[in-house]
Chains A and B, each alone.
Chain A
Amino acid sequence: MSAGSGIEVPESTSPLGTSSSFMSAPLSRRKLFKRAGAMALGLAVGPELLAACSSSPSTTSAAKGSASLADVSIQLNYLENVQFAGTLMAMSKGYYKDAGLNVTVLPGGPNLAPEPVVVSGRALVGVTHTAEGAQAILNGAPLKIIGAAFQKSPTCLVSRASNPIRNPQEMIGKTIGVSDTNLPIWKAFLKVNNIPPSSVKVNTVEFSTQPLADGQIDGLIGFYTNEPIILDLQGVPTYAFLLADFGYPIVDDIYIARSSDLADASTRKQIVGLMTGEAKGWRAAFADPHEAASLAVYDYGKSLHLVFQQQFESVKAEQALVTSPATASHGLLWMTPETVAETVKSLALGGTNATPGMFTNEILTEVYSNGIIS
């Protein structure tokens, strides 16, 4: 095994990693969490109270100053790393505050489903995987999909460069690691490429690249922005192809919100503000990937012991997936009728009968009413 793996520390200590932001940013976050705690207390009484509690400040948001900021939360579907570079940048640059919001970021984890958190009103907006969100709506969750971070899903098949799997046909006879999260995607992907499920051996893996590095499996369904970079940096050269490039085009990391919150004028305004922050945050992340990575490694995700170089490379890889000709002309996070149609088709292959009606650009239309952010 490569010497010192696990104690990787980048030579390039970021300017943000030094005392100034080290001290100030975490402090302000701690305050945020205290507020969140106070809010959670109120929440325990019932969802109705949340609406009252979160909408009341917005009526006075005309007045400047932190006292008038509305407290809202965004539920992520994973830990605070650069998968949410837009969110981290929006926090750090104050884009949410500019929109009159005091946003609490709720990190997710392997065992978390964001949809119930949004449906119960604990978070105003959630970030989730497309199939999971669409399935929740199909099962009766009163949610709408109001934007998509990834125009092209980063879901990929990564293999060792020494034993590369270059296309779906080459998976036949191999052992592929698939996490529970990706199982529906996997089934759909096999179907669209006419590969009989029995011809590929599947191992369940959970958020770990070790089995691939050790040769227990030949390939791994992962994120283009994570696993290939992680393995390359650890001295295991990889080959990766996007599922989207082989018959499975789909958006990912979709933003969801309650239909009732879209209908209510004050919560709708907050959602517009939050999504404005997200769009600006993503733009800022691509303008300065170094800072986005620094925020994750040295600031918000400090306890995660992230590796700077991994995070930095991830932001750069994300740019090609989050931006597209469509976002250049309509703005970031936008979902064109074509992307929606492709996504619906891909979801149907996995047994999720989504409809275009689940997706709406109404919030983004308001976000970009004074000019697009791309």
Chain B
Amino acid sequence: MSQPEVSQPNRSRAARLLASVPAGWLEGLAGSAVLLGLWELMTAVVFPGRHVVPPPSQVVAVMFHDGFYLSSLGTTLSEAGRGWLIGNIAAVAFAVLALFVPRLSKTLQQFGAITYCVPTVAIGPLILIFAGPDATKVAIAALSVFFVSLIAWMTGLRATDQASLDLVHAYGGGRLTELVRVRLRAALPSASGGLALSAPAAILGAIIGEYLGGTHGLGVAMVSAEESFQVARTWAIGIVATGVSGIAYGLILLVVRKLGGDPQVGTVTGAAVHDRGARRSVFTRAGRLAGPAVSLGVIVAIWALALKAFSLSSYFAKSPAAVWSFLFKGPSSTAHRNAVLQALGVTMHDAMLGWLVGTGAALVGAAVLVQLPRVRAAIFPMVMTLRSVPLIAMTPLIALVFGQGVTGVTVIAAIVTFVPSLVLVASGLESAPPQAIELARAYNLSSMGTLVRIRARYATPSLFAAAKIAMPGAILGAILAEWLITGSGIGHLMAASLIGSDYGVLWASVVVASAVSLVLYEVVGSFEGVAQSRLAS
């Protein structure tokens, strides 16, 4: 088979390799090298004698010694891979259904949002009863993937241009032809972004599942290393998990590009869909309330029926009625409610503080990225790496560096917030129409002035889009951190109730935490809509 490269016989392998590396990666590499150097220096200067942060050289040595945890990696990737596939297949099915039955679109999206808002770390022990050890990890991975992919596919399937559709119709094509011939192809850029972004999410889900126990797996190895005080190994496993997540993400993007796609990560990062078609009439506002009500009803019905079908013991499997009675009707419901709400208050405080910090950092970061394209090339790969960090693997490490108190929780909530906000706001800043920028230049507006006066305006909807996703994300991150490291908040309440076999508290906490996240998602989402319609008008 003849290759185009034949025409350049003198190009060395290295040169060809370099040429095949997308632009900006060299800067990215340089940025990462600087970071590593700083780390090595820090361990020598800031943390000497402490057992918290081992120098990277030592971490790398352990990593090589342990053979990169291949058997563990295989297990985790198998769980994550199956979860990723199942989650994406379900997402495609839902997205296609939403396309054919537009009236269901909102409800299906809310159903997805609910799966996103439920703290998987807390429902893992419950899924285990239904699914068994292996399937539980797959299920948690699938759950972690579903919403990200759903939004990506829904956005993508709607992205078809009318001309292509008209062509199909002109040739007598039905809706199915339309779907197969035009829409699926048009969906690829957005969908492939979702496919890529959901890979790290699936790995994170699998690792969360592995905290329930197992013989192999990165999560299992992580717990063991942590417990037996093997600090360098703990870091090594965390880095392997991060690296693999990053590679999975990159590979999927690469495959899509090879297939001729043009993945749009920006628009779906953190799974924010811009409801461009949504009209803000009184009618749709009422619909905004009806949608969640319907999806909640469906969830509650599935929940009640599942318990009935499996005839599970009521000591741990609490029905919707039991949770209602626990919180509102039973003899000590007031005390229960107070305990849950008090814990929730702590969580909300920490999560929102983290959200503020993360958003603030993202705003500054996005401005810098837009103003200084070279910095962008150096930093962006690292930002995406941060996106791939399996939170559960890094939570204990963050706690060790930042302490076990509020700071650790806030840092984790901030990290969860930072990445999607940065990417979305940056793309929002860049979405300002060239004419507007030209006009600003004509009026002699400085680059900074353009940023503040023009670009910021166009980035407002993105800010809300980011918040819609990041607020529930920050809450989930805070819950995870509380579960693992601090002795307060609703995450801690969940962990303590599991240990104390107090499943009433566990179920109630899960329901309340999910509900609050969902409400935030909806409220911010409506702000996003308003901001968008203002921009359009």
Chain A residues within 8 Å of B, Cβ to Cβ: 1, 4-9, 29, 33, 36-37, 40, 43-44, 46-47, 76, 78-81, 106-113, 115-117, 119-120, 122, 129, 131-133, 135-136, 138-142, 178, 180-181, 183-184, 202-211, 213-214, 216, 226, 230-231, 234, 300-307, 310
19 A-B residue pairs with Cβ-Cβ distance under 8 Å, sorted by A, are A7-B232, A79-B220, A107-B214, A109-B211, A110-B223, A132-B499, A139-B502, A204-B404, A204-B487, A204-B492, A208-B229, A209-B229, A210-B231, A210-B400, A211-B404, A226-B228, A230-B227, A303-B215, A310-B228
Min CB distance B40 to A, Å, is 14
Q: Contacts of A204 on B, CB cut-off 8 Å?
A: 404, 485-487, 492
CA distance A80 to B129 in the complex (A): 20
Q: Contacts of A44 on B, CB cut-off 8 Å?
A: 130-132
0/1 interface trace, chain B 122-133, chain A, CB 8 Å (1 if under): 001110111111
Q: Contacts of A230 on B, CB cut-off 8 Å?
A: 227-229
Q: Closest chain B residue to A45 by CB distance?
A: B310
Residue from A78, A178, A209, A300 in contact with B215 in the complex, judged by beta carbons closer than 8 Å: A300
CA distance A180 to B310 in the complex (A): 30
Q: Contacts of A216 on B, CB cut-off 8 Å?
A: 403-404
Contact A115 B62 (CB under 8 A): no
Q: Contacts of A307 on B, CB cut-off 8 Å?
A: 228, 230
Residue from B221, B236, B496, B498 in contact with A304 in the complex, judged by beta carbons closer than 8 Å: B221
- Shortest 6 CB-CB contacts between residues of A and residues of B: A204-B487, A6-B232, A109-B213, A136-B501, A140-B315, A304-B224
Contact A303 B221 (CB under 8 A): yes
Contact B396 A111 (CB under 8 A): no
Contact B132 A109 (CB under 8 A): no
Contact B220 A109 (CB under 8 A): yes
Contact A116 B404 (CB under 8 A): no
Q: Closest chain A residue to B493 by CB distance?
A: A180
Contact B212 A205 (CB under 8 A): no
Q: Contacts of B135 on A, CB cut-off 8 Å?
A: 40
Contact B311 A47 (CB under 8 A): yes
Residue B185 CB within 8 A of the other chain: no
Q: Which of A43, A116, A231 has the most CB of B within 10 A?
A: A116
Contact B404 A6 (CB under 8 A): no
Q: Contacts of B485 on A, CB cut-off 8 Å?
A: 204-206
Contact B223 A109 (CB under 8 A): yes
Contact B52 A139 (CB under 8 A): no
Min CB distance B412 to A, Å, is 14
Q: Closest chain B residue to A202 by CB distance?
A: B487
Residue B61 CB within 8 A of the other chain: yes
CA distance A300 to B218 in the complex (A): 16
Residue from A1, A78, A117, A226 in contact with B231 in the complex, judged by beta carbons closer than 8 Å: A1
Residue B169 CB within 8 A of the other chain: no
CA distance A115 to B126 in the complex (A): 11
Residue B527 CB within 8 A of the other chain: no
Given A117-B129, A304-B220, A305-B233: A208 and B226 within 8 A (CB)?
yes
CA distance A304 to B65 in the complex (A): 14
CA distance A140 to B503 in the complex (A): 11
Residue B134 CB within 8 A of the other chain: yes
Given A108-B212, A111-B125: A119 and B225 within 8 A (CB)?
no
Min CB distance B378 to A, Å, is 31
Residue B210 CB within 8 A of the other chain: yes
Contact B503 A139 (CB under 8 A): yes
Contact B403 A210 (CB under 8 A): no
CA distance A282 to B225 in the complex (A): 25
Q: Closest chain A residue to B74 by CB distance?
A: A303
Q: Contacts of B166 on A, CB cut-off 8 Å?
A: none
Given A120-B129, A216-B403: A113 and B501 within 8 A (CB)?
yes
Q: Contacts of B312 on A, CB cut-off 8 Å?
A: 120
CA distance A206 to B400 in the complex (A): 11
CA distance A110 to B215 in the complex (A): 14
Q: Closest chain A residue to B487 by CB distance?
A: A204
Residue from B124, B230, B501 in contact with A111 in the complex, judged by beta carbons closer than 8 Å: B124
Residue from A79, A112, A131, A214 in contact with B128 in the complex, judged by beta carbons closer than 8 Å: A112
Q: Contacts of A132 on B, CB cut-off 8 Å?
A: 499-501
Q: Contacts of A116 on B, CB cut-off 8 Å?
A: 125-126, 128-129, 313, 316-317
Contact B213 A112 (CB under 8 A): yes
Q: Which of A119, A180, A181 has the most CB of B within 10 A?
A: A180
Given A111-B121, A139-B503: A46 and B310 within 8 A (CB)?
yes
In the complex, besides A5-B232, A81-B224, A301-B224, 18 extra interface pairs with C-beta distance below 8 angstroms are A1-B50, A1-B231, A7-B62, A46-B311, A80-B215, A106-B133, A109-B211, A109-B219, A111-B498, A135-B501, A135-B502, A139-B503, A180-B496, A202-B487, A210-B229, A213-B229, A216-B404, A231-B229
Q: Contacts of A81 on B, CB cut-off 8 Å?
A: 224
Min CB distance B509 to A, Å, is 14
CA distance A213 to B225 in the complex (A): 15
Q: Contacts of B499 on A, CB cut-off 8 Å?
A: 113, 129, 132, 180-181, 183-184
Min CB distance B136 to A, Å, is 10
CA distance A210 to B54 in the complex (A): 12
Residue from A37, A111, A310 in contact with B212 in the complex, judged by beta carbons closer than 8 Å: A111
Residue B51 CB within 8 A of the other chain: yes
Min CB distance A83 to B, Å, is 11
Residue B484 CB within 8 A of the other chain: yes
Contact A6 B315 (CB under 8 A): no
Q: Contacts of B400 on A, CB cut-off 8 Å?
A: 208, 210-211, 214
CA distance A184 to B500 in the complex (A): 8
Residue B66 CB within 8 A of the other chain: yes
Q: Contacts of A40 on B, CB cut-off 8 Å?
A: 131-135
Contact B314 A140 (CB under 8 A): yes
CA distance A4 to B121 in the complex (A): 33
Min CB distance B519 to A, Å, is 27
Q: Contacts of B132 on A, CB cut-off 8 Å?
A: 36-37, 40, 43-44, 122
Contact B212 A6 (CB under 8 A): no
Residue from A106, A183, A207 in contact with B226 in the complex, judged by beta carbons closer than 8 Å: A207
Contact A109 B212 (CB under 8 A): yes
Residue B420 CB within 8 A of the other chain: no
Contact A113 B213 (CB under 8 A): no
Contact A112 B66 (CB under 8 A): no
